[in-house]
Amino acid sequence: MLRTTGRARAVALAAALLAASAPEAAGQAAVYGAGLQAWLGCWSADLVEARADAAPLVVCITPTASVDVADVLTLQGGRIVGREKLDATGRSHAIDAARCTGVRSARWSRDGRRLFVRSSGSCAGVPSSTSGLLVMSADGDWLDVEGISAGGGASVRVARYREVATPASLPSAARAALRAQALATRSVRVAAGAPVRAEDVLEAARTLDSAVVEAWILERAQRFEISETELSALVTAGLPTRVAEALGAAAEPQSYALARGEGYTAEMTH
């Protein structure tokens, strides 16, 4: 009984510490209603990683009538080779991929700065699920972290995209829309890449697989402004050990072994 009471008090203290920091963080960094604005534009992976005998892929994200829905066009060698929708409304959609069936959905974090993506279904008859995170780095890069579990195995993939010039082969209406919203896009992108707070990490850990949250932190693409007291509160509130250790590693890389977890790979491709 005493042990249970002590645990309850510790959790209450953790909740109080996290709640105390929430108003300040929300006031500084929330981007309510901006939707996918920060992601508008054309993006490419690091060209150093591209095959010498293949033209690089360029992914262009263009606006629609809804701020939470965007058109995604993939171009290669001046041709459009892929089209899809990015829907951040939280609605479930059927997966459109060869030999895969299931549903996929994406929803915003409480402050609108991170997009949580989940899917479940099967591919080639093997049950699978994904857990992912889209964020903007402090430098304006797009970081895409995705974990996949299938047939008893699991892995995490990290892709980093950098903005590139709009290809001339992009439809004229899409080019015009991107030009018209360029200032809004730059402004929201800066806000989306603001420092990450304790309650942001806890929200992500409660929404996504811990391996995905760990990979996001270890990429160190964003600043994590979390004090030792807040980290202790996070652990008390149930933060997975591997996520807490990743935060420690990001804060003091010389004091931790930064070896990636088993199954973790960092990629520069879509």
What string of H, E and C letters represents the secondary structure of 63-99?
ECCCCCEEEEEEEECCEEEEEEEEECCCCCEECCECC
pLDDT of residue 134: 98
More confident residue, 263 or 226: 226
pLDDT of residue 19: 52
**Average pLDDT over every residue of 27-55:** 76
For the chain, domains (ranges, CATH) are 21-267 (2.40.128.20)
Residue 106 has pLDDT above 90, yes or no: yes
- The pTM (predicted TM-score) of the whole model is 0.83
Helix (H) or strand (E) holding 144: strand 142-150
pLDDT of residue 269: 40
Comparing 12-26, 27-41, 138-152, 154-168, which segment has the lowest mean pLDDT?
Answer: 12-26
108 token code pair: 């915003």
Q: 221-260 pLDDT, tens per residue?
A: 899 999 999 999 999 999 999 999 999 988 876 555 444 4
pLDDT of residue 45: 86
Residue 182 has pLDDT above 50, yes or no: yes
Residue 263 has pLDDT above 60, yes or no: no
Give the Cα separation of 103 and 126 in Å (integer): 15
Measuring CA to CA, which residue among 35, 55, 30 is closest to residue 44? 55
Contact by Cβ (8 Å): 231, 252? no
Residue 71 has pLDDT above 60, yes or no: yes
CA 47-215-15 angle, to 5 degrees, is: 140
Residue 111 has pLDDT above 70, yes or no: yes
**Average pLDDT over every residue of 47-68:** 80
pLDDT of residue 55: 80
Give the Cα separation of 206 and 199 in Å (integer): 11
pLDDT of residue 79: 95
Using the structure block, give the residue that is written with the tokens 């290809």: 167
Residue 104 has pLDDT above 50, yes or no: yes
pLDDT of residue 1: 37
Q: 118-177 pLDDT, tens per residue?
A: 999 999 999 999 999 999 999 999 999 999 999 999 999 999 999 999 999 999 999 999
Residues of the chain with pLDDT > 90, as a percent, come to 73
